[in-house]
């Protein structure tokens, strides 16, 4: 019997030893898990912090870009609107010109190029002018008109030498372009005081 008791005692000691070893392993494992969890927590916090910082930096950069481009875009829009109003003004101005006013503009420009057509025979094409031929004859006294026809789509006239080497066109479109090229600032200042055009 004593052998049974000794073997039971030995068995209990082995079990107790195994239990203690298992507890130590579990404690070590728990400690390792806690350490790993702590490390991961630190890494997670560092990652989140870096992500938040990166996100904030990105947000600030985007805000700076928007702040930088917004005034430019606003200015572009304002200039586009002013330019549309300017073009609308030009269109209406030339549409409303009386025959006499339009003839005066054309006569002035024809007189400026008169020397090129001195002694030449010309073909005249016109549109929107009742007295195109007398106008050309008075503005270019040394020229001879061979043919007169109506045909330009835009209000104005076109003269061309018989040999085709010299041609001059003065229409509403050319007059508008002259205003755009030479008088844009003055017109802008008159139409939109204080605006930059």
Q: What is the CATH number of the domain that holds 143?
A: 3.30.2320.30
Pick the last residue of a domain from 54, 71, 96.
96
C-beta neighbour count of 90 within 10 angstroms: 18
pTM: 0.60
Positions in the chain short of pLDDT 70: 1-5, 152-153, 195-197
pLDDT at 175: 92
Q: Is residue 196 in a domain?
A: no
Distance of alpha carbon 79 from alpha carbon 71, whole angstroms:
12
* Residue 12 and residue 79 share a domain: yes
Q: What mean pLDDT value characterizes the chain?
A: 85
Q: Which of 143, 130, 131, 139 is nearest to 107 (CA)?
A: 139
Distance of alpha carbon 70 from alpha carbon 72, whole angstroms:
5
Residues 17-38 have pLDDT tens digits of 878 887 888 788 788 888 888 8
C-beta neighbour count of 63 within 10 angstroms: 10
Distance of alpha carbon 38 from alpha carbon 44, whole angstroms:
10
Distance of alpha carbon 74 from alpha carbon 175, whole angstroms:
31
Q: Is residue 184 in a domain?
A: yes
Q: The domain containing residue 160 runs over which residues?
A: 98-191
């Amino acid at each position: 019997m004593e052998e049974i008791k000794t073997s039971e005692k030995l068995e209990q000691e082995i079990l107790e030893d195994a239990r203690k070893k298992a507890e130590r392993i579990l404690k070590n494992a728990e400690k390792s898990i806690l350490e790993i969890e702590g490390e991961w927590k630190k890494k997670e916090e560092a990652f989140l912090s870096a992500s938040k910082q990166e996100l904030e930096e990105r947000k600030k950069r985007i805000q700076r870009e928007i702040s930088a481009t917004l005034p430019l875009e606003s200015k572009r829009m304002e200039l586009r609107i002013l330019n549309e109003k300017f073009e609308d003004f030009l269109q209406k101005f030339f549409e409303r010109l009386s025959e006499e006013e339009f003839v005066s503009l054309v006569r002035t420009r024809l007189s400026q190029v008169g020397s090129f057509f001195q002694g030449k025979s010309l073909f005249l094409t016109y549109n929107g002018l009742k007295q195109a031929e007398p106008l050309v004859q008075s503005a270019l006294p040394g020229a001879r008109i061979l043919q007169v026809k109506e045909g330009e789509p835009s209000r104005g006239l076109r003269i061309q030498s018989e040999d085709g080497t010299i041609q001059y066109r003065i229409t509403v479109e050319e007059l508008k372009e002259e205003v755009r090229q030479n008088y844009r600032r003055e017109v802008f200042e008159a139409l939109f005081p204080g605006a930059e055009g």
